[in-house]
């Protein structure tokens, strides 16, 4: 009879300890969940901010491209009226063809003794 009581007491103690471990684990997981939720919300806010800035920059680029095209057109008209030859390169549409840079690529040259000390 005494051993049954002792066994039941150990069983209750073991269950209580297991419950405490589970509660501790639950608290830890809730804290991690809160941290991740805050990080995700922060990334979302940053994304929306950058997206808005990107849209403004695209609109500015479109406006400046249109102004440059207009100025190039006026320059060509003036050159034709005065009999001058003007070479104005076309501006690639970097939104449609992002691999075409709006400026020529300058090669980087290095001499053989550049890194000798």
Neighbouring residues of 79: CB distance < 8 A, sequence distance ≥ 6: 85, 86
Structure tokens at 41: 């919300």
In a domain, 100, yes or no: no
Interatomic CA distance for residues 36 and 42, integer angstroms: 10
Contact yes or no for 59/95 (Cβ under 8 A): no
Predicted TM-score of the model (pTM): 0.51
Assess if residue 111 is contained within a domain.
no
Query: Considering Cα of 18, then 22, then 25, then 27, what sign does the dihedral take?
Result: negative
43 lies in some domain: yes
How many domains, the chain?
Answer: 1
> What is the residue-level pLDDT of the chain in tens, covering all 117 positions?
678 888 999 999 999 999 999 999 999 999 999 999 999 999 999 999 999 999 999 999 999 989 988 988 888 888 888 887 777 766 666 655 655 555 555 555 555 555 554
Tell me the C-alpha distance between 24 and 20, whole Å: 6
Q: Is residue 33 part of a domain?
A: yes
State which residues form the domain around 56.
1-82
């Amino acid at each position: 009879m005494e051993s049954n009581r002792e066994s039941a007491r150990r069983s209750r103690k073991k269950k209580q300890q297991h419950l405490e471990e589970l509660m501790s684990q639950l608290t830890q997981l809730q804290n991690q969940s809160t941290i991740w939720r805050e990080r995700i919300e922060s990334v979302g806010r940053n994304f929306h901010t950058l997206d808005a800035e990107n849209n403004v920059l695209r609109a500015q680029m479109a406006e400046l491209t249109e102004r440059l095209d207009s100025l190039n057109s006026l320059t060509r008209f003036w050159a034709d009226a005065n009999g001058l030859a003007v070479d104005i390169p076309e501006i690639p549409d970097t939104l449609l063809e992002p691999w075409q840079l709006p400026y020529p690529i300058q090669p980087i040259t290095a001499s053989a003794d550049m890194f000798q000390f």
